[in-house]
């Protein structure tokens, strides 16, 4: 999600709905909410020039792109930093509002 409103539950639902319009979403799929500043800092720790760009559209309200990622996600230590230091919350797409 590119930005957060007071109603995070609704935002998760909107993002899941938008993804479902263009992808086949498996029942066990999940959406992660990351802290942008932490993502950039994690990139700096590993000498990756990371940037986050808003790619949202009216029919896809929560999309953003992470640019400068290592090719083929080859830096497992960086990926671990994203998961442990940058991730605020993960929700399954099949969850109801408020469930994590």
Give the pLDDT confidence score for residue 98 in this predicted structure.
47
Tokens of 44: 């700096």
DSSP of 64-82, one letter per residue? EEEESPPGGG--HHHHHHI
What is the model's pLDDT at position 67? Answer: 93
**Is the pTM of the predicted complex or chain greater than 0.95?**
no
pLDDT at residue 60 is higher than 80: no
Question: pLDDT confidence of 40, banded at 50, 70, 90?
Answer: very high
Q: What are phi and psi of 36, to 5 degrees?
A: -60, -45
Report which of residues 69 and 98 the model is more confident about.
69
């Amino acid at each position: 999600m590119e930005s957060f409103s007071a109603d995070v539950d609704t935002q998760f639902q909107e993002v899941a709905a938008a993804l479902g319009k263009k992808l086949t979403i498996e029942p066990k799929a999940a959406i992660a909410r990351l802290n942008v500043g932490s993502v950039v800092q994690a990139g700096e720790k590993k000498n990756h020039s990371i940037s986050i760009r808003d790619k949202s559209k009216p029919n896809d309200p929560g999309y953003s792109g992470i640019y400068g990622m290592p090719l083929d996600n080859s830096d497992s230590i960086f990926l671990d930093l994203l998961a442990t230091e940058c991730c605020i919350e993960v929700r399954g797409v099949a969850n109801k509002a408020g469930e994590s």
